Amino acid sequence: MNKKSAHKKYSLRNLLGSACAVAMLLALPVQLLAGEATPPGQIPEKITINVQTSCPQIADLDQDKKEVKEFSHKLHAEKYLLGKSAFAAHPYTDAFTCAACHTGAESPEAITGADKCERLTAAIEKEGGPKKYKEMMHAVCQNCHKNMQKAGESKSGPAKCNECHSK
C-alpha cells in the first residue's frame, strides 16, 4: 500500500466517522439539543423556577424576577413528598406526588403534554391573575414546610423568602 492510498483510506475513515457522528447527533431528541438535559417522560433532577424569564409573553407578571435556583425537583417528586400529603396546601397521593405543586394535574401528560407557557397562562387565569397565582404558589411551598415544622418533622424545607429566592 502506498502513501497516497493510505492517506485516502485514512481520509475516508475520518469522513465516515464524522458522518456517523453527525447522524447520531441528528437522531438525539430535540429537547436534549435545546438544552433540556432531561429526556421526555423523566423528571428533571433540578430546575430553576422563574416564570418571568421562561415565559415573558405572559401579561401582567411582577417584574421582580425572584427565581428559585436549583430546586430539587426529582427529590421532591420521588422522596420528599412521599407520605407528606397531610402537610400540603393541595391534596395529592404518593402515586402521583406531582399534583402537590402542579395543582389540578391528574397525570404526567397533563404537565408535560402542553407547552409550558400555555400551561402557566391557564393556571394563572384559573387562580384569578398573576398576583393570586404567586400567592398560591408560595402557599404550596411555605404551607407544607411550615406545617411540617409545626408537626416536628426533622426535615421540613425552607419557609422564609431568602431561603428559596437567592439574591
Q: Give residue limits of the domains in the chain.
A: 3-33, 47-164
Tell me the per-residue pLDDT of 61-102, one tens digit each, with 9 for 90 and over.
888 778 888 999 999 999 999 999 999 988 899 999 999 999
pLDDT band at 15 (very low <50, low <70, confident <90, very high): very low
Helix (H, G, I), strand (E, B) or coil at 24: helix
Q: Does the pTM exceed 0.75?
A: no
Provide the b/e sequence for 61-87 (b: ≥16 CB within 10 Å): beeeeebeeebebbebbeebbeebbeb
Provide the b/e sequence for 138-159 (b: ≥16 CB within 10 Å): eebbbebbebbeeeeeeebbeb
Q: Look up residue 22 and give its amino acid.
A: V
Q: And the C-alpha cell for 62?
A: 411582577
